[in-house]
Structure 1
């Protein structure tokens, strides 16, 4: 961490012409990001404990997505963990506009169909094209 902490790190990333994001694990309260959220380009809300693919979607994490979307309507909000065609609507209805669904896609015989369903949920709930 550079001298100046998180804020200095965020600025140095932006000065290098890159986008900045932070991740919130299930056990981390969303307000831990509020000090920095207006300086971020994206927040990743984990809906499983980080570590391995194939875990069950934690729907209780959608309150974090809702709080972020309310506070920052233009922020890219990514959700990762346990997402599939049967869980993606909860994420996009809460305000997620970026979806990670590795197990659902790569574990399916119909990858194109899964991707289509995920994309349609984002668009249907007003967060994408």
Structure 2
């Protein structure tokens, strides 16, 4: 089954608990953490993740768009994240490895993220260790961007590598996922779809989540 991970970046932060409950039929809750340095936007941090954890049993998929994520991965795990993903571009390979090791030491799932201009091969050093690889289908930093269909060959290449070397690893896409783009992601091999505005702007959110499953 295709998993859906609504992004709270598109939720109403004044009514965040309500908007989390509105997507309860989804599989993961996607939490975008931005520091204003790795990406130009600033979003939320550890206290908000702690608050979210108290009001939902959904798996929290925490996407760190921050520089030197190794500094904070343990704190996000302790705050309630179930899965923490870090960008391969955000630090040295050695420190990305350390971040993965620290996430696992906390008993949580770890993943790596690739920006649009980053080739699939950048995930190879971590492929057999992580539980998820995330391919960005927009430039990270802001919601509501246009889907980059030219990322589908990368998704397909990663699907082949995952199937060969770590079949339990999930393959996620994030950015511009909507009813008219979800099928391309699924056909390329993704099994987890992050969707923000496509979910939260829908008149019938449970129906939209079902639609995105393909």
TM-score with structure 1 setting the length: 0.85
TM-score with structure 2 setting the length: 0.53
Unaligned runs of 5+ in 1: 122-129
Residue 160 of structure 2 corresponds to 70
Q: Give deviations 1:40-64, integer Å, cap 9, x for gaps.
A: 1101111001111111110111111
Match of 1:104 among 195, 198, 209: 198
Q: Structure 2: how far apart are the matches of 1:33 and 1:88?
A: 23
Q: Structure 2: how far apart are the matches of 1:9 and 1:58?
A: 28
Matched length: 119
Alpha-carbon RMSD: 1.5
Residue 43 of structure 1 corresponds to 133
Q: CA deviation at 1:112?
A: 2.1
Q: Give deviations 1:13-41, integer Å, cap 9, x for gaps.
A: 21221111111110111111111111111
Q: Give deviations 1:76-127, integer Å, cap 9, x for gaps.
A: 01111001111000001111111111110111212222111112x1xxxxxx
Q: SS in structure 1 opposite 2:109?
A: coil
Q: SS in structure 1 opposite 2:100?
A: helix
Unaligned runs of 5+ in 2: 1-69, 72-93
Q: Which has the higher strand share?
A: 2
